[in-house]
Amino acid sequence: MSQDVAYIVFFLAILAIISPFLGRYMAAVFQGRRNLLTPLARPLERRIYRICGIDEKEEMTWKAYARDFLYFSGISLVVLFLIQVFQGSLPLNPQGLGPVRWDTAINTAISFMTNTNWQAYAGETTMTYLTQMVGLTVQNFVSAAAGMAVALPLMRAFTSKLKATVGNFWVDMTRAVLYVLLPLSLILSVALASQGVVQTFGAYTHAHTLEGASQVIATGPAASQVAIKQLGSNGGGFFNGNSAHPFENPTPLSNALEMLSILLIPMALCFTFGAMIQNDRQGRAIFAAMMVLFLLGLSIAMAAEWQTNPGLRRLGVVGGNMEGKEARFGIGPSVLWGQATTVTSNGSVNSMHDSMMPITGLVYMFNMAVGEVVFGGVGVGLLGMLMYAILALFLAGLMIGRTPEFLGKKLESKEMIMAVIVVIAPAIASLIFAALAAATKTGLASLNNPGPHGLSEILYAFFSAAGNNGSAFGGLNANTPFYNLATGFVMLVGRFLTIVPALVIAGSLAGKKTIPSGSATFPTTSALFVGMLVGVVIIVGALTFFPALVLGPVLEQLLLSSGRLF
């Protein structure tokens, strides 16, 4: 236990040191200022603009920004679907894999386009090398870059005065790839390959076991995909075992590097926000609220996993819950990984969440259900937390009898309606489809576990889809037409009804004048604001999801204590 605590403290300390530097670097990148990579990347950036006919000085209204984001997402969806359907006739297919089934192809195309990376299939037996690289890995870059890009208009809106434009989508996305995602991925890919993560274009290896049987060992260009899947809050594994697979995550060092990369950019974006609005204290306040929520959830999950399973305790077994965890990682790094991935919309796993204690599963589900705003996915996580900040300031305005304002901008009915849509729409979609799955034979047919644990598997799946996370409880067979189409729809709601309303708010705020702060202005950099923001996230989440969670993980935990297993 003490080793786990020391590991977590050291890990978070490293992140807290590195993330402000990366945050300020990204602010320089997105403001077009000279930075460390300007001599190398700037010529390539200019050439991309010339080839694509982009005027980098042309600014867009929020409507044009949203339109181009939607166009790009739609094209990405169609291209990725076609690559899967025709992969059997395309090159880089040494295993001779055929086309992906239509419903799986639709679900996967939606999943990677929305930065969810939900995988209802086994990568090594379903996707060719070309599909993995040209289809999935490219989407890992561009969907993450799009997520980073759409957070920038809201940042700019707070410093704009009576302005109709919010930036240029194509410029923002290009810079996110060239200056942030690509260089970090190159560094991480080499580091992971040095630890034994495979990177080859050769066919699968045929081996003979000691018993004389033959075995096919899947390999492939994994290191390059693993790097961006973590840095971009993607999470889709090259292999079915994801980051529990020794070819994706072979050593404790590779495990630590991948966890650092999962949290690094989402954490750094808090400091990017502070730098771009010229108020570092505000960025630190948002970071503090996220960190408080992160540590609360991590503490509960750690306490649950350090306890012996009551069923094993009756047999005289003592020690923490090692079920579903890799021995090379242990309890601490496994639970820390689960907490890191479920708060950041990164669906990768280095242990099986289905084998965690019910209370740990509740923490992971809550992280996703509230919109994954605790650091969250790259860009969109910060957007989600700012929506909760708007709600918190609305409540503060009600208490003091004053129109709420945030960073000198009045928050009126339009902003409030859009913020509520961001918070509520994914929740409504996930709960409706979870109820439909739990009430129909089609939905229940995919369950391997009865009772409250089976309900938890269903809830987890739809919370994961709505939060654009992509992880799952292993007891649910989601590769059916019903689940592929249902989760696909919920992914679309979770992506676009988060981003588009936020862009509406950005356009509205950019067109407003800035109001100087006065004695009645609520301080948004204080400990009081941090506490209110944390409270709003917890209260909204509890009020929205409490009944469903009580019937799932809470009931399972109570029954587990009495000896009932599912």
Domain coordinates of the chain in residue numbers? 23-205+215-278, 281-561
Q: Which secondary structure element, helix H or strand E, spans residue 103, and what is its range?
A: helix 102-113
Tokens of 77: 């969806």
Query: Which residue spans within 307-452 are E strands per DSSP?
Result: 405-406, 409-410
Res. 520: pLDDT tops 80: no
Closest CA to 407 of 525, 491, 232: 525
Q: What's the pLDDT score for residue 212?
A: 81
For the segment 472-497, what is each residue's pLDDT rounded down to a tens digit?
Answer: 998 899 999 999 999 999 999 999 99
| Per-residue tokens: 409 | 């901008």
Residues 148-163: pLDDT tens digits?
999 999 999 999 988 9
What letter represents residue 460's amino acid? Answer: Y
Pairing of strands 214-217, 405-406: unpaired
Q: In whole angstroms, what is the distance from residue 444 CA to residue 460 CA?
A: 14
- Contact partners, residue 50, CB within 8 Å, separation at least 6: none
* 410 beta partners: 405
Return the residue matching tokens 């919109």: 371
283 touches 270 (CB < 8 A):
yes
Which of the four pLDDT bands, split at 50, 70 and 90, describes residue 311?
A: confident
Residues in Cβ contact with 519 at an 8 Å cutoff, skipping those fewer than 6 apart:
none
Instruction: State which amino acid sits at residue 135.
Output: G
pLDDT tens for 250-296 read: 999 999 999 999 999 999 999 999 999 999 999 999 999 999 999 99
- Cα separation, 143 vs 157, in Å, equals 23
Lowest mean pLDDT among 313-322, 375-384, 409-418: 313-322
In angstroms, the CA 130 to CA 125 distance is 13
Are the beta carbons of 254 and 195 closer than 8 angstroms? yes
**Chain centre to alpha carbon of residue 162:** 34
Q: Are 394 and 343 in contact (CB under 8 A)?
A: no
What's the length of the chain?
566
Q: Are 472 and 338 in contact (CB under 8 A)?
A: no
- The tokens 């094993």 sit on which residue? 312
Over residues 365-373, mean pLDDT: 94
Is 519's pLDDT higher than 80?
Answer: no
Which residue from 154, 111, 143, 382 is spatially nearest to 265, judged by alpha carbons? 382
What average pLDDT does the structure give for the chain?
93
Long-range (24+ apart) CB contacts under 8 A made by 532-537 are 532/392, 532/395, 532/396, 533/286, 533/289, 533/385, 533/388, 533/389, 533/392, 534/289, 534/292, 534/293, 535/392, 536/388, 536/391, 536/392, 536/395, 537/289, 537/293, 537/370, 537/373, 537/374, 537/385, 537/388
Query: 25-65, pLDDT tens digit by residue?
Result: 999 999 999 999 999 999 999 999 999 999 999 999 999 99
End-to-end CA distance of the chain: 28
Name the band, by pLDDT with cuts 50, 70 and 90, for residue 23: very high
| Span 375-379, average pLDDT | 92
Q: How far is CA 413 from CA 170, 369, 394, 400, in A?
A: 30, 25, 10, 17
User: 493 vs 346, 407, 409, 467, 487, CA distance in Å?
Assistant: 17, 29, 28, 9, 10
Is residue 122 predicted with pLDDT exceeding 90? no
Cβ–Cβ < 8 Å for 61, 153: no
Closest CA to 232 of 119, 113, 126, 120: 113
Q: What is the mean pLDDT of residues 517-532?
A: 87
Task: Dump pLDDT digits (tens) for 186-238.
Answer: 999 999 999 999 998 888 888 888 888 888 888 888 899 899 999 999 988 88
Do 381 and 266 meet the contact criterion of CB atoms below 8 Å apart? yes
Q: Give the global pTM.
A: 0.94
pLDDT of residue 336: 96
Q: How far apart are CA 279 and CA 284, in angstroms?
A: 9
